[in-house]
């Protein structure tokens, strides 16, 4: 996808397959829409009176307007002018990009970012355009035999209309947005691939490919013997139920010498992302119901998020050391699988009573969180499709956010708001810890039916005492279930990349 700025002062003479202009309810036009309306002798105002109410996420296509060179003028509904804000703009860009993709257009021009709103900058609005373009053009056909029956969108170029004085700010936003979109596309592809293809080994190979593609990335993929040498008894207890070998991935971004020379990041502790990489989760001996079990291929979306985020970080060459850590395996029932009542020893030395083998993500993550200590990190953020309880609590809108550090939590919440990838800060009071008490080990791996997402976070917190830590439970936001929209969402790549951009700039 080619993204650029268009600084031509003559909007009516702009030649394009589709020109997006914003209109508000009650017949109020954006400045770009007003320019086109005057050039076309009132064509826009005429349709606003009769057939277009300009509600958010709606559009109307006008073709061959007199005095306008664009083949189509696409009116994008923005709702009430006094309620216009950044999230409405992001939806508007998505509406236009989706139209262009579905209409099989190769290019288009959007004027929407030129409309100011109180809670955004031109850079952030340009970023929204780039992310919308990435979302509209993501196309899965990796396992289709006849790809031409489900053709990929033809959209190859979107331009942002702005004045010349603001062109550089817009370009910066487009660059960041495109990197986020590319990271999301990788995350979505890995999530959408079936579990017989996207195995732990496949994730390790993907990390190696990223390191070959970007000079700032270095990778290490540990095999089962090397994982055993580290004493990761909790992680390996989950892996031993499957014939697929586990892997432990460490992917490190080091700013280029040129970039690092601009600051003092060589003396700054790294930021570490830890991803849950269950490439398929049957539940193990505590097996899941058959209905919907196919979606447990998405139980590696935490790992996919780490890889997508590191891809974006490397593309931007952020001036901050970022390390991705992924523990990946399958959770399968077999003669060697964990059994309810088993006790295992984690890398930290803490013993864990396994009361439910389907609460395996925390058994994998706890050893990865202990491993992260060796980097002496400034902060560690784990990302995991961890609990159905989080879906019950927050649905599919907000990612669940738990943290040992309020400042870190606030930074993540704010980053999510900036890129319309929201998270909600959940409680994690010490009083919840008592639900994890075990008679036969230091800790039980479940805390009963109440507050399941919170007790899962409390479990993880016992392995994170050495650093500021946050946990993102993405069980409700990592993928869409059922229907034509079924598939990975790419969240929370935008939230994490925006957070890291902020940390690199600070």
Phi, psi values for residue 171, rounded to 5°: -60, -40
Comparing CA positions, the residue from 24, 13, 30, 310 lying closest to residue 186 is: 310
Burial class (CB in 10 A: 0-12, 13-18, 19+), 340: middle
Instruction: Please check whether residue 460 is in contact with residue 363, taking contact to mean a CB–CB distance below 8 angstroms.
Output: no
Cβ atoms within 10 A of the Cβ of 223, count?
A: 13
Contacts of 246 (CB under 8 A, 6+ apart): 200, 224, 227, 235, 236, 239, 327, 328, 329
Residue pair 84/133 in contact by the 8 Å Cβ criterion: no
Dist CA 309 CA 179 (whole Å): 9
Q: Is beta strand 247-253 parallel, antiparallel or unpaired with respect to 322-331?
A: antiparallel
Of 252, 311, 320, 362, the catalytic one is: 362
Q: Which of 45, 157, 240, 288 is catalytic?
A: 288
User: Could you give the C-alpha distances from 208 to 58, 159, 249, 252, 370, in angstroms and in order?
Assistant: 43, 34, 9, 11, 23
Query: For residues 233 and 343, is the Cβ–Cβ distance under 8 A?
Result: no
Q: How many helices (H) and strands (E) does the chain have?
A: 15, 19
Instruction: For residue 457, give the 3-state DSSP assignment.
Output: helix
352: left (phi over 0), alpha (psi -120 to 50) or beta: beta
Query: In the structure encoding, which two tokens stand for residue 19, read together?
Result: 């020109």
Q: Has 102 been annotated as catalytic?
A: no
Cross-strand bridge partners of residue 21: 75
Beta bridge partners of 329: 278
Q: Which of 495, 492, 490 is nearest to 182 (CA)?
A: 490
Per the annotation, the verdict on 362 as an active-site residue is: yes
Instruction: Give the chain's end-to-end CA distance (angstroms, integer).
Output: 30
Angle, alpha carbons 122-89-26 (nearest 5°):
120
Question: What is the 3-state secondary structure of 378-441?
Answer: CEEEEEECCCHHHHHHHCCCCEEEEECCHHHHHHHHHHHHHCCCCEEECCCCHHHHHHHCCCCC
Cβ 332 vs Cβ 200: under 8 Å: no
**What is the set of active-site residues?**
288, 362
């Amino acid at each position: 996808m080619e993204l650029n700025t268009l600084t031509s002062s003559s909007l009516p003479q702009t030649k394009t397959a589709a020109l997006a202009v914003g209109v508000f309810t009650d017949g109020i036009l954006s400045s770009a829409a007003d320019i086109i309306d005057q050039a076309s002798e009132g064509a826009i105002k005429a349709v606003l009176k009769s057939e277009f109410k300009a509600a958010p996420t709606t559009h109307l296509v006008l073709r061959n307007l007199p005095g306008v060179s664009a083949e189509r003028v696409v009116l994008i509904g923005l709702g009430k002018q006094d309620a216009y804000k950044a999230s409405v703009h992001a939806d508007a860009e998505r509406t236009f990009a989706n139209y262009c993709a579905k209409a099989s257009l190769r290019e288009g021009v959007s004027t929407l970012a030129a409309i100011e709103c109180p809670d955004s900058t031109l850079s952030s609005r340009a970023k929204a355009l780039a992310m919308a373009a990435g979302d509209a053009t993501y196309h899965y056909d990796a396992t289709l035999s006849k790809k031409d029956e489900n053709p990929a969108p033809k959209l190859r170029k979107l331009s942002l209309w702005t004045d010349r004085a603001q062109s550089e700010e817009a370009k910066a936003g487009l660059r960041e947005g495109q990197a986020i979109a590319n990271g999301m596309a990788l995350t979505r592809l890995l999530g959408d691939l079936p579990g017989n293809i996207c195995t732990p080994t496949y994730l390790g190979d993907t990390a190696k490919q990223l390191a070959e593609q970007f000079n700032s990335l270095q990778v290490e993929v540990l095999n089962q013997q090397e994982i055993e040498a580290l004493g990761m008894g909790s992680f390996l207890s989950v892996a031993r139920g499957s014939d697929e070998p586990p892997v432990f991935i460490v992917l490190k971004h080091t700013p280029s010498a040129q970039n690092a020379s601009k600051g003092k990041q060589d003396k700054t502790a790294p930021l570490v992302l830890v991803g849950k990489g269950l490439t398929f989760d049957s539940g193990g001996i505590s097996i899941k119901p058959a209905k919907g079990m196919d979606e447990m291929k998405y139980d590696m979306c935490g790992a996919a998020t780490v890889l997508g985020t590191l891809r974006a970080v490397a593309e931007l060459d952020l001036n901050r050391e970022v390390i991705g850590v992924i523990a990946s395996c399958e959770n399968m029932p077999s003669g060697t699988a964990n059994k309810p009542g088993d006790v295992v020893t984690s890398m930290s030395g803490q013993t864990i009573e396994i009361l439910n083998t389907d609460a395996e993500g925390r058994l994998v993550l706890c050893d990865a969180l202990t491993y992260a200590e060796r980097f002496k990190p400034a902060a560690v953020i784990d990302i995991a499709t961890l609990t159905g309880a989080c879906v019950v609590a927050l649905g599919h809108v907000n990612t669940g956010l738990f943290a040992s550090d309020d400042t870190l939590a606030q930074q993540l919440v704010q980053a999510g708001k900036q890129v319309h990838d929201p998270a909600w800060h959940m409680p994690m009071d010490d009083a919840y810890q008592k639900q994890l008490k075990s008679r036969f080990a230091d800790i039980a791996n479940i805390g009963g039916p109440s507050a399941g997402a919170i007790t899962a976070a409390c479990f993880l917190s016992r392995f994170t005492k050495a650093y500021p830590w946050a946990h993102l439970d993405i069980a409700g936001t990592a993928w869409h279930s059922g229907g034509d929209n079924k598939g990975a969402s790419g969240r929370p790549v935008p939230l994490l990349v925006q957070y890291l951009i902020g940390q690199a700039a600070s």
